[in-house]
Amino acid sequence: MLLSLVVWIGGLIFFIVVAPVAFQLLPTRLLAGTLVGTLLTKLHWMAICSGVVFLISSLTYSQLTEGSTRAFALRNVLICVMLALTLFSQFWITPRMIALRAQVANFDASTLNNAARLQFDALHVWSTRIEGLILLLGLFLVFLTASAFHQR
């Protein structure tokens, strides 16, 4: 359980570090955005796999140690919330951002009056908020899970 969670949260922290660097080092914002979008999709798939592994491991662990799966234990509810947020980002926000990115002629120029650019920026804010919330929930879940194992 802990390993799958650390893979997810570690990947998210790595992404938070790499994304701004891509915008600093690559020659265009479009190129950097394309790279970051691709990395975010890979991160989402890592997260989905890690979340499913965590959930299966948690249910199995509870069954073996307590005789009940405890499906609504706090750790299982939190991982399901994290998974739901990740799925929402991957299958609702990201495709819309990709479609809007194709409509913006030049991200390097000042196109703040462009409707597609405004929509893109608004979705980017929501994407950032969702990933931040996932990170906070994940850090709390790491603490919760590690504490539970330490008490046993």
Q: What is the tens place of the pLDDT at every residue in 33-69? A: 999 999 999 999 999 999 999 999 999 999 999 999 9
- In 3D, which of 18, 19, 22, 11 has the Cα closest to residue 44? 11
pTM score, whole prediction = 0.92
The predicted structure's pLDDT at residue 152? 67
Cβ–Cβ < 8 Å for 107, 29: yes
